[in-house]
């Protein structure tokens, strides 16, 4: 498998969109039937009716792991509490208010360059090492905003994906949601790599 070849944006986006379109939650809820893992950390993913509640569980998990391995930082703890109590309900709550709804779909959960390769025999794109959960499809793209992103941060990948699945409403808050999902993955990276720059991003 070739790990250094950048996948074709159109083909890659189509494959990811197919996953999100074809694998919907078996019970209509967000979560998963068992705990999942991202990096070395187990994630709590109980079934939830609302996406904001499900994401709150995911974020609390990575904050907990991060605080176990990094120095105490009261300002950080205060900011995390504000995000949980005020920002998540406002930003993610908007997805399921005023008559709007989103469908929980299966996401890979850790799509980044080191989890993607090209089969040398078939030239097919392979995506491996998942941390699956039934979630908002846009959560898949938090990793693409990470400081470690080398090509998924190029707009053409997101542009091609949105030709298959457009941004959720309210569309003008897509970037706010993406920042929220990137925050989750940055804290996850900080917890997995104590002392890394991710905690300060």
For 13-68, write each residue's pLDDT tens digit.
999 999 999 988 999 999 999 888 877 778 878 999 999 999 999 999 999 999 99
Task: Judge whether 64 lies within some domain.
Answer: yes
Q: Average the pLDDT over 118-122 and give the result.
A: 90
Mean pLDDT (the chain) is: 93
Per-residue pLDDT band for 146 (boundaries 50, 70, 90) equals: confident
Q: Which contiguous run of DSSP H or E holds residue 126?
A: strand 125-127
171 part of a folded domain: yes
Listed in sequence order, the residues at least 6 apart from 98 whose beta carbon sits closer than 8 Å to its beta carbon are none
Q: Bridge-partner residues for 125, per DSSP?
A: 118
Segment 143-163 mean pLDDT: 94
Let me know if residue 40 belongs to a domain: yes
Q: What is the per-residue pLDDT for 155?
A: 95
Of the candidates 108, 100, 110, the one whose C-alpha atom is nearest the C-alpha of residue 167 is 100
In a domain, 101, yes or no: yes
Domain hosting residue 128, numbered range: 9-193
Confidence of residue 201 (pLDDT cuts 50, 70, 90): low
pTM attached to this predicted model: 0.93
CA 6 – CA 10 distance, rounded (Å): 12
Number of domains forming the structure of the chain: 1
In a domain? residue 200: no
d(C-alpha 135, C-alpha 133), whole Å: 6
CATH number at residue 164: 3.90.1200.10
CA distance 108 to 127: 8
Please report whether residue 4 resides in a domain: no
Which pLDDT does position 45 carry in this prediction?
87
What pLDDT, on the 0 to 100 scale, is given for residue 50? 98
For 125-142, what is each residue's pLDDT tens digit?
999 989 899 999 999 999
Which of 5, 35, 196 lies closest to 131, judged by CA? 35
Predicted pLDDT of residue 143: 93
Looking at residue 1, its pLDDT comes to: 82
Q: For a pLDDT cut of 90, what percent of the chain falls above it?
A: 78
CA distances from 108 to 17, 96, 153, 200 (A): 11, 22, 17, 26
Q: Give 141-186 as a 3 state SS string.
A: HHHHHCCCCCCCCCHHHHHHHHHHCCCCCCHHHHHHHHHHHHHHHH
Residue 3: the pLDDT is 80
Do 48 and 59 meet the contact criterion of CB atoms below 8 Å apart? no
Q: Is 133 helix (H, G, I), strand (E, B) or coil?
A: strand
């Amino acid at each position: 498998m070739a790990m250094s070849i950048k996948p074709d944006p159109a083909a890659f986006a189509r494959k990811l969109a197919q996953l999100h379109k074809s694998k919907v939650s078996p019970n209509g809820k967000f979560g998963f039937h068992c705990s999942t893992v991202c990096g070395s950390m187990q994630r709590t993913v109980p079934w939830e009716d609302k996406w904001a509640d499900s994401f709150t569980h995911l974020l609390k998990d990575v904050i907990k792991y991060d605080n176990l391995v990094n120095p105490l930082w009261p300002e950080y703890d205060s900011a995390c509490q504000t995000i949980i109590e005020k920002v998540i309900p406002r930003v993610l709550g908007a997805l399921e208010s005023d008559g709007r709804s989103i469908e929980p779909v299966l996401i890979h959960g850790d799509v980044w360059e080191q989890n993607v390769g090209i089969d040398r025999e078939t030239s097919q794109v392979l995506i491996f090492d998942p941390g699956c959960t039934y979630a908002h499809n846009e959560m898949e793209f938090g990793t693409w905003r990470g400081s470690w992103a080398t090509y998924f941060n190029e707009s053409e990948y997101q542009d091609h994906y949105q030709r298959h699945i457009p941004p959720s409403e309210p569309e003008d808050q897509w970037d706010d949601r993406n920042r929220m999902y990137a925050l989750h993955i940055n804290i996850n990276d900080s917890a997995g790599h104590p002392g890394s720059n991710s905690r300060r991003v």
